Amino acid sequence: MPTHRSSLITQNSCARRVLVTGGAGYIGSHVVLALGEAGYQVLTYDNLSTGNRDAVLHGELVVGDLADKPLLAQTIADFQPDAVMHFAASIEVGESVNKPLKYYRNNSVHALNLLEAVREAGVNRLIFSSTAAVYGNPLELPVTEDTLLAPINPYGASKMMSERFLADLAQADEAFEYVALRYFNVAGADPQSRLGQDYANPTHLITRALKTALGIFPKLQVFGTDYPTADGTCIRDYIHISDLAQAHLDALTYLLNDGTSQIFNCGYGHGFSVREVVSMARQVSGIDFIVEETDRREGDPAELIAANAQIRRELGWQPQHDDLEFILRTAWDWELKLSKGRN
């Protein structure tokens, strides 16, 4: 288990060092696990507003906020990372519509704080956790990295703004290089059930559906059945969390081998509708839970599917878990473990 900042880890000093913001959250913790297993020295910087101490399975945890510039600067100076991975952010589309300033502060202003601290410390490599929400309602599918950015909610807009920070910094400073990974719908859990999504009030469809199957929620709401899709519900490209973690390791290898700044979509190139996911959740859990169809949720595009040729070609990324049933089974195994108190 990680230590909680007394003195920094000094063993394996020849290993590359990676600082991970938001490494106690769902995606960040899986990447920290993958980094540790690959032999990297890892330091997680997280305010634990949505993350969990127990999710940081490798390296050290510094409990701190990106708004705390002195602590952030001191942490980077002490650890001297070779690269930074930035996950810390607010991520709920619906909340972003109702609380836009929270999202611009947490996702844009705090990203700026991090970039200033990184550059002051002379760190030249950064991997940024971005989102398909920067595309909004794309006119053509699948979505390529060259698709016009037109976010339809503050979450997507705040991430697009941070991408612009990165692009402008890389243009101004030839020593600085970054990779921005635009996630589509991340789902599933570690196949060994060491980690998974562990939020008190999750909004992700798969997690919500499986918790409903367990009786944690009385019903699952389906937001909108009148979209221009085959069955009227939204279609998303679901990517397994382990494949996404590997994409980060591939991006890190690329940057540490003098790769130049790039943006990559992270998805499988095909999608499933909400109704198809619900059907699979019932099949995997064996429980016919209650589903309530209701009005559309503001800020949701009808369909988002990734073109992933670029990440396969440039990073050599080869997904291993492109299977909706596998995604849900790993998530279900994790939910069963949580329900038993992780015994």
* Catalytically annotated residue among 40, 135, 155, 227: 155
Whether 241 shows a pLDDT value over 90: the answer reads yes
Please, which residues bridge with residue 134 across strands?
none
Kindly state whether residues 67 and 176 are assigned to the same domain.
yes
Kindly state whether residues 279 and 173 are assigned to the same domain.
no
Kindly state whether residues 276 and 291 are assigned to the same domain.
yes
Whether 40 maps to a domain, the answer reads yes
* 12: alpha, beta or left? (left if phi > 0; alpha if psi -120 to 50): left
CATH code of 76's domain = 3.40.50.720
Q: What is the DSSP letter of 143?
A: B
Kindly list the distances between the CA atom of residue 1 and the CA atoms of 4, 33, 61, 232, in Å, as whole numbers in the listed order: 10, 11, 10, 46
Q: pLDDT digit string (tens) for 38-73?
A: 999 999 999 999 999 999 999 999 999 999 999 999
Kindly state whether residues 230 and 141 are assigned to the same domain.
no
Whether 73 maps to a domain, the answer reads yes
The total of structural domains in the chain comes to 2
Whether 14 shows a pLDDT value over 50: the answer reads yes
Can you tell me the mean pLDDT for 123-134? 97
Kindly state whether residues 32 and 144 are assigned to the same domain.
yes
Question: What range does the domain containing 151 cover?
Answer: 17-189+238-267
Kindly state whether residues 99 and 177 are assigned to the same domain.
yes
Whether 3 maps to a domain, the answer reads no
Closest by Cα among 5, 12, 239, 27 to 127: 27
Kindly state whether residues 181 and 221 are assigned to the same domain.
no
Residue 199 confidence (pLDDT): 85
CB 179 within 8 A of CB 263: yes
Whether 251 shows a pLDDT value over 80: the answer reads yes
Kindly state whether residues 260 and 112 are assigned to the same domain.
yes
From the DSSP assignment, how many helices (H) and strands (E) are in the chain?
11, 14
Whether 196 maps to a domain, the answer reads no
Whether 289 maps to a domain, the answer reads yes
Whether 325 maps to a domain, the answer reads yes
Q: pLDDT digit string (tens) for 193-230?
A: 999 999 878 889 999 999 999 999 999 999 999 999 99
Kindly state whether residues 223 and 84 are assigned to the same domain.
no
Average pLDDT taken over every residue of the chain: 94
Structure tokens given for 155: 């979450």
In sequence order, what E strands does 151-231 have? 177-183, 185-187, 220-223
Measured distance CA(84)–CA(42) in Å, rounded: 10
Kindly state whether residues 142 and 30 are assigned to the same domain.
yes
CATH code of 215's domain = 3.90.25.10
Known catalytic membership, residue 254: no
Structure tokens given for 273: 């509708």
